[in-house]
Copies of this chain bind each other. A is one copy, B any other.
Amino acid sequence: MQTRNVFDTFTLPITKSGQSQIVPPPPWIYAIEMIGVKVFFDLNKIIDLIPPPLEPTDGEGFVYIAKIFTISDNRWEMLYEDPEETKYMEAAVALKVKYKDSIYTYFPFMWVDKDLPLIRGWLLGYPKKLAIISMSEYHKLLDNYNGPTEGMKMGGYAVRNGKEIIRMRITLKEKYSSPPIPFGPIVQFRRFPSVQEGTNVYELGQVISSDFRTGDIWRGDGELLLNNSINDELELLKINKIEAGYYFNWSFKQLGTKILAKL
């Protein structure tokens, strides 16, 4: 048999064609409908969620529930060939952190409900787990709904392994000029440990994004409950103050990571 070339599939499963891989290569395109609550957390607690060399700032954070539509590698046909691969639910906690005197956004927790975004996220350092996630959705013909208005309420939750780890509710008040996140560029830890042998990856990367667009941004009141579970230390997220609730749509691309430090 003549020598065969290495299969250069981006992710597992590795096949000659690459058609079976769970995550196709970038660009990764996202369009997001999101509700969230801007909060300030107790600094004495969140310090244990912020791995060095990242450092805390003032405790500012944002917790969201989102429905995300996504396309990888310009495979637009997935929208009708495999619709579940083009949408997922996501919940996450964002913290304002500092690295070398600059402000960044860091996600200590993130949950999704599909495998493609789970693995894709890990490649950029997002610490994704699976959860059951739900949020309000409005259909235009349901009672003549005409889009968000003052006083409209939305809610959502995330459940992992029997625990309601996040529950939120927002009440819209007014359109607002800017989205509540990001606080600065996103930094995450790519972490693929050696298991006895094997390359040990532990590196701080900055996510490279582009093509940000936002729809209307609504701001109002927010209510937020976070519950600890045996494998999710949400007890470290003690809420000192709730600033506001938000509802907005946005889209962007994620293209890769820029390595800031190896640990």
Contact = CB atoms under 8 A, between A and B. Distances in A.
A20 B134 contact: no
A184 interface: no
A17 B48 contact: yes
Nearest to A108: B13
Nearest to A79: B136
Contacts of A167: 162
A190 interface: yes
A31 B84 contact: no
Q: Give the size range of A's interface with the partner.
A: 35 or more
A236 interface: yes
Contacts of A17: 48, 233
Contacts of A33: 139
Contacts of A163: 164
Interface string A239-263: 0000000000111000111110001
Contacts of A78: 230
A7 B199 contact: no
A49 interface: yes
B31 A139 contact: yes
Nearest to A250: B141
A82 interface: yes
A19 B231 contact: yes
Interface string A211-227: 00101000000000000
A195 B256 contact: yes
Contacts of A139: 31-33, 69, 249, 251
10 contacts: A7-B52, A12-B191, A14-B108, A15-B49, A15-B233, A33-B139, A71-B143, A83-B136, A85-B231, A199-B203
Interface of A: 1, 3-7, 9-17, 19-20, 22, 25-26, 29, 31-33, 47-49, 51-52, 55, 69, 71, 76-87, 108-109, 114-115, 118-119, 122-130, 132, 134-143, 153-157, 159, 161-164, 167, 169, 189-193, 195-199, 201-203, 205, 208, 213, 215, 229-233, 236, 249-251, 255-259, 263
